[in-house]
Amino acid sequence: MNNTIQVGLLGLGTVGTGVVRLIEGHQEDLKSKIGANIHIKKILVKDINKDRSIEIDQDKFTENALDVIEDPDIDIVVEVMGGIEETKAYMIEALRRGKHIVTANKDLMALHGAEILHEANVNQSDVMYEASVAGGIPILRSISEGFSSDRITKMMGIINGTTNYILSKMSEEGADFEDVLHEAQQLGYAEADPTSDVGGFDAAYKIAILGTLGFHMTIAMEDVLVEGITNVSKEDIAYGKKLGYDIKLLAIAERKEDQVYLSVQPTMIKNTHPLASVGGVFNAIYVHGEAVGETMFYGPGAGELPTATSVVADVVSVAKNIKLNVNGRTSSMPYKEKKMMDEQDVMSKNFLLLHVQDKAGVLAKITEIFAACHVSIESVLQQPVEDHDFVELVMITHEASKSNFKQVLGQLEALDVVQQIRSMYRVEA
C-alpha cells in the first residue's frame, strides 16, 4: 500500500499555484480522506528563477516536462499548463507510462477527450477533468455520479463568466457592449484578445464536454451551433426587459429520444427563471433529468482557488482509487451512437426585432408569412422611432421548429415593407 501519493504538476500559473496552496495547506485533511500523504514532487515551469507569490522549494522545479512524465515515482500528473497538441502528447505519454491524469484543460478535453479517455482505458488509468467546466462547481461529478440512475434530457447554463459579466453590466447600466468589454479587460475579467469568450467558443468547448458526459455520445465542436454576444445591443436588452426577459449567453444541450442538439447563443430567458438572476462572473448550470426533474448548480466559474478546489478534488478521487487498487474503472466512455436532431425537431420560442415601413397593412403582410410557415405569434410590440421613416416591430413567437422559423426569416428578408431584421434570439421560458 502507498503511504504517500506522489504528484507531478505541469504548469504553475494561477490555477497551478492554487493547487499547491491547497495541497500544502490541507495535508491533515487530505490524509484523513485518503489514508495517505499527498506530496508534490516535481513542477514544470517556464522559468525556474521567476518570482512567485508562493514559497516552493526550487529543487522541485524543472523546465523539462519529461522530468515529470518519466519519473517512475510520480503517480498522478496534474496538467494546468493549457495548450492542445503538445499537451495532448504529454498526457498520452504519461498514460502509457501508467500514470493518472488530472486536468483543467477544457479545449483539450473537448477536442481530444475521446482519444485521451481511450488511452486511459487501455492502460487502466484514471483521467479526471472536473475543473475543465465551471471552475469550482462540481458539475461533471454530479452528472457522472449523481445522475447515474437517471436520464438527462436537457442541460442549460451560463458557463462563461466574462460574457455573463458583460451582459449583466449592459443590463444594469444600459451601457454599450464595447464600453463594458473595455471595462472587463481593465478589471482582468476579459483577455486582451476576448474572441474565445465573446465569440462563444469557450462556452462551446464546455457544453461539448457536458454533452459527451451527459448523453454518453462523442460530441465534437462542429456539433455545436455557436453564436457570440458581439451583436447584442442595449436596445435588445431594453426590449427584452419590457417583455419580461433577460438576455444571457446560454449553452444548451437537449435530447429527445436518441437525438441531441447543442448550441451556444444569446438567449432571452424569462426573468422569473433561476438562471436569469445569475449575475457578474458567476456560473450556473440547469440540469433536467427524467426522474429527478429540475436541478441547478451555481457558483464561481473561474479563479485560482475555486478552480484549484476542483483539481484537488480530482486528485483526491484518483488517490482513493490508488489506495483501493481500482484505477481505470471509473472513466465514462461514450457508448451511444451520436445522432443529431434535424432542424424540424429543434423547437423553441423566438424573439424578433424588425425595422418596418410605417404604413397601413404592414403588420397584416408580416403575420401572413408567419401563418403560412406554421409559426404562431405570442406577443407583438410596436415602437415608433424618432426622425426615421420606420417603426420597430418586436415579436415573440410560440414554440416553433427551427426550420419553420428559418422559412419565416427568408420570406421577411424578401418582403418590401421590411427594411431590416435587426435582431433575433432564442427564447427560453
pLDDT tens-digit series, residues 256-273: 999 999 999 999 999 999
pLDDT (0 to 100) of residue 233: 95
pLDDT at 118 over 60: yes
Residue 389 pLDDT: 83
Of 206, 248, 349, 402, the catalytic one is 206
The answer to whether the beta carbons of residues 25 and 96 sit under 8 Å apart is no
Q: At what angle do helices 106-122 and 85-96 cross, to 10 degrees?
A: 20
Task: List, for residues 151-186, the tens digit of each pLDDT value.
Answer: 999 999 999 999 999 999 999 999 999 999 999 999
The class that CATH gives domain 4-135+304-324 is alpha beta
C-alpha cell at 392: 420597430
Percent with pLDDT over 90 in the chain: 87
- pLDDT value at position 330? 63
What residues contact residue 346 under an 8 Å CB cut-off, 6+ apart? 261, 401, 402, 403
CATH of domain 343-428: 3.30.70.260
Q: How far is CA 188 from the centre of its chain?
A: 19
Q: Name the band, by pLDDT with cuts 50, 70 and 90, for residue 311.
A: very high
Pairing of strands 37-44, 4-10: parallel
pLDDT band for position 194 (50/70/90)?
very high
Q: How far apart are CA 265 and CA 228, in angstroms?
A: 6
> Distance between CA atoms of 71 and 69, rounded to whole angstroms?
6
Q: What are phi and psi of 219, to 5 degrees?
A: -95, 125
Residue spans in the chain of domains classed CATH 3.30.360.10: 139-299
Q: Is 206 tagged catalytic?
A: yes
Mean pLDDT score, 295-324: 92
Q: DSSP class of residue 341?
A: P
Q: Are 236 and 213 in contact (CB under 8 A)?
A: no
Please name the residue that has the C-alpha cell 484578445.
193
| Residue (of 239, 241, 237, 209) closest to 224 by Cα position | 209
Residue limits of CATH 3.40.50.720 in the chain:
4-135+304-324
C-alpha 265: how far from its chain's center? 12
Domain 139-299 CATH assignment equals 2.30.30.40: no
Residue 1 has pLDDT above 60, yes or no: no
> Where do the CATH 3.30.70.260 domains begin and end in the chain?
343-428
pLDDT score of 329 more than 80: no
Q: What is the pLDDT of residues 132-151, one digit of tens each?
A: 998 889 999 999 988 989 99
Give the pLDDT of residue 142: 93
Mean pLDDT of 329-351: 89
The rounded mean pLDDT for the chain is: 94
